[in-house]
């Protein structure tokens, strides 16, 4: 960055007085049922923070000079007070980047968003074609996302983000994703599939193969800073050159998650009691959790490399992603399941996968929402009693 060579990564390893940014999931409610949802969202939780409680959190973030929050969910825009909270945050100089499937991005909303410097929008898309996207995100979700992009583009919103979770099925579409982003004057952001939330159920089938991972790395190196990654591929630094970004696990050090009920976790991919640092409703609020939680103190302490310490790539990848290890049943001081040296695949082969920790919460729809249902094979399957097994 500047010409003064100081080991910044070292500084971040030991944590900052306030996060650089944080992820805030405003609700577990969602109109979709994506198969890899990292927060197992679907139904609202009755304990979700009220409007006033959310504003109190924003006041704290302003005091702590947190530059911006990544708001997600669930689908955050289905909260009736969503726009009120966005306005409140930006009025208090806390920038907002929110993730949405696009369902509420009407032409009118798009024009409003385009007028604000302090709001950024990220549209989720997990396939460059409807077939690939809808298999993961549900029927009709591709059209919804592209309609939202068109509205943003028509409103003159330049540089909104298109956010793609990389899977075995869509990794071959990287150039097509880039073309979609270019078409709407948007910026492509790709992130890693984690075995978190419902992602734990599909990770084995959907995570990229070792060969795909290598091609993904080469593609990212070739595109440099034009493609965002949320630092989510720092484990690929083991291939050689680091990718643009911080290239470290920021969990509890420079980032964290506030979930819809106010629980603070080390990162958005680790919704489990082992990574729960506290709750913003407790005395002292978020600031006390961030500065005084025992869990965060542990994460900010120097880490031993464990089983990875003797590996030549350890200085580059730092053992990879904590959440990816945890939810695949691997020890936290060993290799990442997608270790570029292949140590993760070997470890997975010997791991007791069946007793891997399960995500703590599940707000999945009890019935799949309409968008996620497969069309009936026969007209009579629409009968409300079809498929119900009656005792004889």
Partner 1 sequence: MSTDLQARPQFDLDTAWALSPQVSIRPERFGALLYHFGTRRLSFLKSPTLLAVVTGLAAHETARDACLGAGVQAAELPRYRAALATLAGSQMIGERS
* Smallest distance from partner 1 to CB 103, Å: 24
* Smallest distance from partner 1 to CB 67, Å: 4
Looking at the Cβ atoms of 67 and 381, the one nearer to partner 1 is: 67
Identify whether the C-beta of residue 148 lies closer than 8 Å to the C-beta of residue 122: no
Looking at the Cβ atoms of 105 and 242, the one nearer to partner 1 is: 242
Looking at the Cβ atoms of 107 and 159, the one nearer to partner 1 is: 159
Looking at the Cβ atoms of 26 and 61, the one nearer to partner 1 is: 61
* Smallest distance from partner 1 to CB 229, Å: 13
**Phi, psi dihedral angles at 315 (to 5 degrees):** -65, -25
d(CA 238, CA 194) in angstroms, rounded, equals 18
The one-character DSSP state at 162 is: E
* Smallest distance from partner 1 to CB 65, Å: 4
Looking at the Cβ atoms of 11 and 298, the one nearer to partner 1 is: 11
d(CA 109, CA 107) in angstroms, rounded, equals 6
Specify the long-range contacts of residues 227-230, CB closer than 8 Å, at least 24 apart: 227/178, 227/187, 227/188, 227/189, 227/190, 228/161, 228/187, 228/188, 228/189, 228/190, 229/189, 229/190, 229/191, 230/189, 230/191
* Smallest distance from partner 1 to CB 186, Å: 13
d(CA 324, CA 236) in angstroms, rounded, equals 14
Two structure tokens written together for 311: 């590996």
Q: What DSSP element (H or E) covers 163?
A: strand 161-166
- Binding residues for partner 1 (CB under 8 A): 1-6, 8, 11, 16-18, 20, 65, 67-68, 93, 95, 97, 117-118, 120, 159, 225, 244-245
* Smallest distance from partner 1 to CB 251, Å: 18
Buried b (16+ CB within 10 A) or exposed e, 65-103: ebebbbbbbbbbbbbeebeebbebbbeeebbbbbbbbbb
Looking at the Cβ atoms of 68 and 275, the one nearer to partner 1 is: 68
* Smallest distance from partner 1 to CB 256, Å: 16
Looking at the Cβ atoms of 93 and 358, the one nearer to partner 1 is: 93
* Smallest distance from partner 1 to CB 254, Å: 10
Looking at the Cβ atoms of 95 and 305, the one nearer to partner 1 is: 95
* Smallest distance from partner 1 to CB 189, Å: 12
d(CA 296, CA 274) in angstroms, rounded, equals 11
Write down the H helix ranges in the chain.
8-13, 51-63, 82-91, 107-114, 130-137, 141-154, 174-183, 199-206, 210-223, 285-292, 294-300, 314-317, 322-327, 343-350
**What is residue 173's three-state secondary structure?**
helix
Place of tokens 């984690």: 194
d(CA 157, CA 179) in angstroms, rounded, equals 17
Looking at the Cβ atoms of 140 and 245, the one nearer to partner 1 is: 245
The 10 Å Cβ neighbour count of residue 293 is 18
């Amino acid at each position: 960055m500047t010409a003064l060579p100081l080991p910044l990564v070292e500084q971040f390893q030991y944590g900052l007085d306030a996060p650089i940014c944080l992820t805030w999931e405003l609700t577990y409610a969602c109109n979709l049922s994506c198969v890899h949802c990292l927060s197992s969202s679907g139904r609202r939780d009755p304990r979700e923070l009220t409007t006033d409680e959310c504003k109190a959190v924003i006041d704290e973030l302003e005091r702590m000079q947190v530059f911006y929050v990544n708001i997600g969910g669930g689908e955050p825009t289905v909260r009736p007070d969503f726009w009120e909270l966005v306005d409140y945050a930006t009025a208090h100089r806390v920038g907002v980047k929110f993730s949405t499937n696009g369902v509420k991005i009407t032409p009118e909303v798009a024009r409003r968003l385009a007028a604000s410097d302090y709001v950024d929008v990220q549209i989720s898309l997990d396939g460059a074609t409807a077939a690939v996207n809808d298999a993961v995100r549900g029927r009709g979700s591709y059209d919804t996302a592209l309609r939202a992009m068109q509205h943003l583009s028509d409103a003159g919103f330049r540089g909104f983000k298109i956010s793609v979770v990389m899977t075995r099925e869509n990794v071959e579409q990287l150039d097509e994703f880039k073309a979609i982003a270019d078409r709407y004057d948007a910026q492509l952001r790709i992130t890693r599939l984690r075995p978190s939330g419902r992602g734990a159920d599909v990770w084995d089938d959907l995570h990229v193969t070792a060969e795909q991972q290598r091609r993904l790395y080469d593609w990212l190196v070739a595109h440099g800073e034009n493609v965002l990654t949320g630092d989510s591929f720092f484990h690929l630094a083991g291939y050689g050159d680091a990718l643009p970004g911080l290239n470290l696990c920021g969990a509890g050090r420079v980032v964290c998650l506030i979930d819809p009920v106010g629980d603070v976790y080390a990162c958005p991919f680790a919704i489990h009691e082992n990574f729960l640092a506290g709750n913003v409703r407790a005395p002292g609020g978020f600031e006390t959790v961030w500065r005084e939680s025992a869990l965060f103190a542990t994460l900010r302490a120097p880490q031993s490399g464990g089983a990875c310490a003797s590996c030549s790539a350890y200085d580059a990848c730092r053992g990879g992603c904590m959440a990816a290890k945890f939810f695949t049943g691997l020890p936290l001081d060993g290799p990442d399941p997608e270790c570029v040296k292949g140590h993760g695949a070997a470890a997975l082969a010997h791991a007791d996968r069946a007793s891997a920790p399960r995500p703590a919460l599940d707000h999945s729809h009890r019935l799949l929402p309409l968008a996620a249902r497969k069309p009936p094979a026969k007209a009579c399957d629409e009968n409300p009693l079809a498929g119900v097994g009656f005792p004889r």
